[in-house]
Amino acid sequence: MTEAYYSQKIHGPFETQELGDFDLLSGETIRGLNIAYATFGKLSPARDNAVLFPNWYSGSSKILELAYVGAGRALDPEKYFIILANQIGAGLSSSPSNTPSPFGAARFPKVEIADDVRAQHRLVTEKFGIERLALVLGGSMGAQQTYEWAVRFPDALRRAAPIAGLARGTPHNRLLVQTFIDAIASDPAFEDGWYERAAHLHRGLRRHARVFAASGFSPALFNRRGFAELGFSTTDDFVTGFVENHFLPQDPNNLLLLLAKWRDADVSRSANGDLAAALGRIRAKTFVIAIEEDGFFPLADIEAEQRLVPGSELRRVSSPWGHLALFGTDGAYNAAIDRHLNELLAA
Amino acid sequence: MTEAYYSQKIHGPFETQELGDFDLLSGETIRGLNIAYATFGKLSPARDNAVLFPNWYSGSSKILELAYVGAGRALDPEKYFIILANQIGAGLSSSPSNTPSPFGAARFPKVEIADDVRAQHRLVTEKFGIERLALVLGGSMGAQQTYEWAVRFPDALRRAAPIAGLARGTPHNRLLVQTFIDAIASDPAFEDGWYERAAHLHRGLRRHARVFAASGFSPALFNRRGFAELGFSTTDDFVTGFVENHFLPQDPNNLLLLLAKWRDADVSRSANGDLAAALGRIRAKTFVIAIEEDGFFPLADIEAEQRLVPGSELRRVSSPWGHLALFGTDGAYNAAIDRHLNELLAA
């Protein structure tokens, strides 16, 4: 089931870049690291129109394409060369689910957000010869990667747009993410990650989906039946048909690897834990975009970090879909994001 | 362990009123229903100074006493005769944990908030001969009971103060409460409620505590280490030492009975589902009190109901402790509540 899911048929077309044996910051090695990505538009002769957009928790490049890329959108392939990069562990790039024994499944090494960014930097420079990206952006875990890019490679991007995410997780966010982890890992069928078939953990995946949904959308989405726009009838119909349906085909070890990355993301690690010093290194023109109803990354926490980014601006958008407006289900959110990105790209 | 916990030593002194065979609204019967309660102060000769305060989820009359009753507080035993009533299923009144076979444990009948209110009405009228209470108040599930009192027995109370709770659960609140239920019931040791010892479910109880904590307190409480005031060092130290410590000695079947009551509470059931009609029956002078940072019962939802209560006023309080400011840990919250209650009691 997971093999059929993590496929060109569902998430393609995508390409894969082999980066060889890749040393992680932990000291572990991923042998023959593959990074899956999709591109849109053409790289200009000056190589100055490239946009990098890494994916969020549990998504792939496909949802980024569907929700953000297109003619007339801010990310218009007529103007930009857009690279949608898939995280390590998300199922298309090297992941627990596609790495053979003995290093696959529960033994897949722990990966950090910074490892993804280092791998993406190699993809961008070695594969495409791009020295400076016009924009790096991303939502949620994509925002974590965007911040890490801007801190780690300050001269490699002209602009940055972290959306609905933090450079360093707050204690509350870590607690919340741990409840997502616990919902999956507590399924007796998990067996420390050595399950025979991912589908055997469907109860844990469903519990995870429900805890995720309860704070991922705003209360108003449920209470005013905002999900009816998508054809769902009741809260339960929506949570099953939209959220459980999203997670059930995915591999639990993959999700847990991503969740651990999410929980532990911290750009200050390269500055001895000094967040102000780390964010102070950013040279990209940065629009920090917050969703006012976000239950995962509250506005106040996002704003506290934005103030530490030199020359940055806070841009607020509003959606009853809360954090999960990222999915592109809310036309008003999409239009607002495009306005902010257009302004940033014109800067 | 649960017997030692649900004891006079820990929750007393409390008294118990036997109400005989009690017919529930579902049609089921609790044989020899006991309602545990504690009283403070003296009933006036005119029997017009009585305050009823039913307990919330998982608490007992003891925490209500410690957090709200005392000389100089709004609920001053020098002025009022204060009755702190324990919910059916909370461990001191008739509950799954103290009902012998064959009707105890998983077989204990399903109870509604309205059943508690009917039992409390008998306690108040039959035991104490009180026709009209000066005030009914309660927080969270106590607010649900307060609303039910005001709708079901509109002439039996002069004033009402539902705090941080709703008359009818919203779809979002029901989803959230279901995640609490799932965290306990998914423990393999639960065995459909036929576990041998409650302590065997400590993993499920711990998961429940963590999901509960993640939205029960405001994010700011964790992120600004507000828990340090109570002597806790880290998020994990606090969640373990405060929240897990609170739930671990309790009986899972008791908690699940209470959670189902919470999830399903709805005063409109006695008005054919018409919430406006039900709340329109209220004659008590009502202060609806909301906690601005409440992640369980958001301000907007509380305000929407308050507008349906004739002559009512919305009173807002603020606390980084969020919903769980109810516990009395925040001095500023306690002082604000006392101000509102003093004003209401003077009306």
Predicted confidence (pLDDT) per residue in B212-221, tens digit: 999 999 999 9
Overall size of chain A counted in residues: 347
pLDDT of residue A1: 54
Per-residue tokens: A36: 């899956």
Interface mutation target, options B166, B170, B179, B237, chain A, most CBs of A under 10 Å = B179
User: A89, A254 in Cβ contact below 8 A?
Assistant: yes
B281–chain A nearest CA distance, Å = 24
DSSP for B4-24, written as a single string? HHSSHHHH-S-EEEE--SEE-
Looking up tokens 């004003």 gives: B343
Give the Cα separation of A59 and B49 in Å (integer). Answer: 60
pLDDT of residue B2: 75
The β-bridge relationship of strands B22-23 and B29-30 is antiparallel
A56 closest CA partner among A305, A296, A248: A296
Cα dihedral A87/A90/A95/A98 (nearest 10) = -130
Instruction: Count the neighbouring beta carbons within 10 Å of the beta carbon of residue B245.
Output: 11
pLDDT of residue A2: 75
* Nearest chain A residue (CA) to B189: A188
Beta strands in A41-143 (DSSP E): 50-54, 81-85, 135-139
Helix A202-216 vs helix A171-185: angle between axes, to the nearest 10 degrees?
150
The β-bridge relationship of strands B81-85 and B50-54 is parallel
Give the Cα separation of A200 and A206 in Å (integer). Answer: 11
**Residue B308: helix, strand or coil by DSSP?**
coil
Question: Could you list the active site residues of B?
Answer: 140, 294, 323
The yes-or-no answer on residue A116 being catalytic is no
Give the Cα separation of A113 and A144 in Å (integer). Answer: 7
Asked if pLDDT for residue B1 goes beyond 70, the answer is: no
The β-bridge relationship of strands B34-40 and B15-18 is antiparallel
Overall size of chain B counted in residues: 347
Hey, which residues does A161 pair with through a beta bridge?
Answer: A137
Per-residue tokens: A268: 């200050």
Q: CA dist B140 to B54, B61, B302, Å? A: 10, 14, 11
Residue B188 phi/psi, 5-degree rounding, is -55, -25
B227 closest CA partner among B215, B216, B239: B239
Interface mutation target, options B175, B176, B181, B303, chain A, most CBs of A under 10 Å = B175
**Residue A276: helix, strand or coil by DSSP?**
helix
A210–chain B nearest CA distance, Å = 7
Q: Which amino acid is at A23?
A: D
pLDDT of residue A104: 96
| ipTM above threshold 0.95 | no
A172 CB contacts (<8 Å, ≥6 apart)?
B214, B219, B220, B221, B222, B223, B235
Q: What is the pLDDT of residues B143-195, one digit of tens each?
A: 999 999 999 999 999 999 999 999 999 999 999 999 999 999 999 999 999 99
Q: CA dist B254 to A237, A272, B54, B109, Å? A: 29, 48, 16, 11
Rg of chain B over Cα atoms, rounded to whole angstroms, equals 19
Q: How far apart are the first and last CA of chain A?
A: 45
Per-chain mean pLDDT for chain B: 97
> Which secondary-structure segment (H or E) carries B82?
strand B81-85
Give the Cα separation of A240 and A216 in Å (integer). Answer: 14
Per-residue tokens: B246: 């609170």
Instruction: Count the neighbouring beta carbons within 10 Å of the beta carbon of residue A25.
Output: 14
A299–chain B nearest CA distance, Å = 11
> Are A175 and B235 a contacting pair at CB < 8 A?
yes
The residue-averaged pLDDT of B318-332 equals: 97
Using an 8 Å CB-CB cutoff, list chain B residues near A239.
Answer: 175
pLDDT of residue A295: 96
Looking up tokens 């506005």 gives: A299
Asked if pLDDT for residue B293 goes beyond 80, the answer is: yes
Q: What is the pLDDT of residues B37-69, one digit of tens each?
A: 999 999 999 999 999 999 999 989 999 999 999
Cα-to-chain-centroid distance, residue A140: 5
pLDDT of residue A317: 98
User: A257, A111 in Cβ contact below 8 A?
Assistant: yes
Per-residue tokens: A55: 């994916």
The β-bridge relationship of strands B15-18 and A313-317 is unpaired
> Are B171 and A213 a contacting pair at CB < 8 A?
no
* Nearest chain A residue (CA) to B210: A179
Give the Cα separation of A166 and A299 in Å (integer). Answer: 10
Q: CA dist B27 to A45, A248, B94, B328, Å? A: 79, 39, 17, 37
**Band of the pLDDT at B197, cuts 50, 70, 90?**
very high
The DSSP symbol for A192 reads: G
B8 CB contacts (<8 Å, ≥6 apart)?
B14
* Nearest chain A residue (CA) to B298: A219
User: From the first residue on, what is the mean pLDDT of each consecutive set of 10 residues in chain A (347 residues)?
Assistant: 87 97 97 98 98 96 98 98 98 97 96 98 98 98 98 98 98 98 97 96 98 97 96 97 97 98 97 98 98 97 98 98 96 98 97
